[in-house]
Amino acid sequence: MLIGKIGGIRIRINLLVLLLGGLYAYLGLAVEILLILAAVLIHEMAHLIMARLLGIRVAEIDLLPFGGQAKMEDYTGLDPEQDIYLALSGPAASLSAAAIFYFLQEQIASPYLPMFININLYLGLFNLCPGLPMDGGHILRAVLSKFIGYKRATSRTAALGKLIALGLIAWGGYQLYYLQSIGMNFIVVGALLLWAAHREGRLLAYAFMRYLVNKKSELSKHGLLPAQQIVSREDTLIKVLLESARPNSYMVVWAMDDSDNMMGVRSEAELIECFLDKGPKARLRDC
C-alpha cells in the first residue's frame, strides 16, 4: 500500500503490517507501533542515502517489521562491493541510533526511550542474519556471487532466509504454547519473513536475467569489462553456462566439439538472447 513519497521515492507499507499495526493500536500499543515504524524508516533511509552516494537509483521502499526493503531500479546489476556497502548501511544506522539514544537517556526524559533503543538494537542485529531478504543475506550473496554466480548465490541465501523464518515461527509457537508469553510477535514476523524469502525465490529467474542484461548495458556504457573465459561442449545447456556467470566480469564461451575442435566463440549477450529466444532447453549449439 502506497503511503507517500520522500524525495521522489515511493514509500509502501505491507498490508499485513498495516493490519498488525491496527490490531496493536486496538490493544493500546499504538506508541509501540509508531516507534517500530520510526526505527524502520531510519534503517531504510540509511539504505537510500548510501544508494544515492553510490549512484544507484531507488524505486521504492517497502516497510516490513524486520526492516523493510529498499528496491533498487538496477539492484541486480550491482557490483558485489557496492552491494555490501549498501546492505551494511541499514544495520549500521540502526545500531548507531541505539548507541546515540542510549547515551542521551539522561538528557531526554521519556518512558519510551529505552524501548526505542531496544527496537533499533534488535533491528540492526536481526538484519545481520545471513539470509535474504535481510541485509546479512545481501552481504552473503555478494560474497558468494564471486565464486558460484549470482543465481546460485541468490537461491542459497533465500533458502537460509526461509530457515531463519521457520526458526522464528517455531520459537514463537514454543513461547505461546509452553510459556504462555506473547510469542505471536515471532510467529507474525517469521511468517512475513518466510513470504519475503519465498518472493526472492519466485523472482529469481527474472532478477537473474535483468542482472545479465544490465551487464550488457554496462559494457556499452564503459566500453570494457573483465572477461571470464569458459570452454564448453556444444551440447551444454545455456542455462548451465549462465549459472557460472559472475557479476563483475563478462563471459566468453569457447564452443568445442567431441574431438576438441573449436567450433566458435559466443559472448554472454549472445547466450542471453538465445536463452530468451529458445527457452530453458536451448543448448550452446543452438546459438
Position 164 scores a pLDDT of 96
- Residue spans of the domains in the chain: they are 2-211, 225-286
Please give the residue that has the higher pLDDT: either 165 or 18: 165
Report which of 175, 200, 179, 199 is spatially closest to residue 188, judged by C-alpha positions.
Answer: 175
Q: Which CATH class is domain 225-286?
A: alpha beta
Q: Is the pLDDT of residue 29 over 70?
A: yes
> What is the pLDDT confidence band of residue 245, given thresholds at 50, 70 and 90?
confident
The pLDDT value recorded for residue 101 is 95
**pLDDT confidence of 128, banded at 50, 70, 90?**
very high
- Is residue 109 pLDDT above 90, yes or no? no
Q: What is the pLDDT of residue 77?
A: 47
Contact 144, 156 (CB under 8 A): yes
pLDDT(259) > 90? no
Beta bridge partners of 253: 230, 266
Q: What secondary structure letter does DSSP report for 77?
A: G
Looking at residue 75, its pLDDT comes to 44
Confidence of residue 7 (pLDDT cuts 50, 70, 90): low
Q: What are the φ and ψ backbone dihedral angles of 69, each rounded to 5 degrees?
A: -135, 125
Q: Give me the residues paired with residue 11 across strands.
A: 4, 61
pLDDT for position 160: 96
Whole-number Å distance between alpha carbons of 228 and 21 = 49
Highest mean predicted confidence (pLDDT) among 53-67, 200-214, 250-264? 250-264
Confidence (pLDDT) at 273: 76
108: phi then psi, degrees, rounded to nearest 5: -110, 105
- What share of the chain has pLDDT > 90, as a percent? 29
What cell was used for 111? 518512558
Straight-line distance from the first to the last Cα atom of the chain, in angstroms, rounded to the nearest whole number: 44
Distance CA 92, CA 107 (A): 23
Asked which of 9-13, 69-73, 190-194 is least confident by mean pLDDT, the reply is 69-73
Structure confidence at residue 19 (pLDDT): 78
Q: What percent of the chain has pLDDT over 70?
A: 86
Tens of pLDDT along 32-83? 888 988 998 899 889 889 988 988 777 777 777 666 666 665 544 457 788 8
Q: What is the mean pLDDT of residues 102-115?
A: 89
Q: Are 165 and 132 in contact (CB under 8 A)?
A: no
Task: Report the SS3 class of residue 210.
Answer: helix
Q: How many Å separate Cα 45 from the centre of its chain?
A: 16
How far is the C-alpha of 40 from the C-alpha of 29, rounded, in Å? Answer: 17
pLDDT, position 114: 93
With 50 as the cut, is the pLDDT of residue 241 above it?
A: yes
> What's the CA gap between 248 and 149, in Å, rounded?
10
Other beta carbons within 10 Å of 64: 20
What's the confidence (pLDDT) of residue 181? 61
Report how far residue 143's alpha carbon sits from residue 153's, in angstroms, rounded to the nearest whole number: 9
Residues 6+ apart with CB under 8 A from 177: 183
Nearest-angstrom CA–CA distance, 132 and 271: 28
Measured distance CA(78)–CA(165) in Å, rounded? 26
Mean pLDDT of the chain: 83
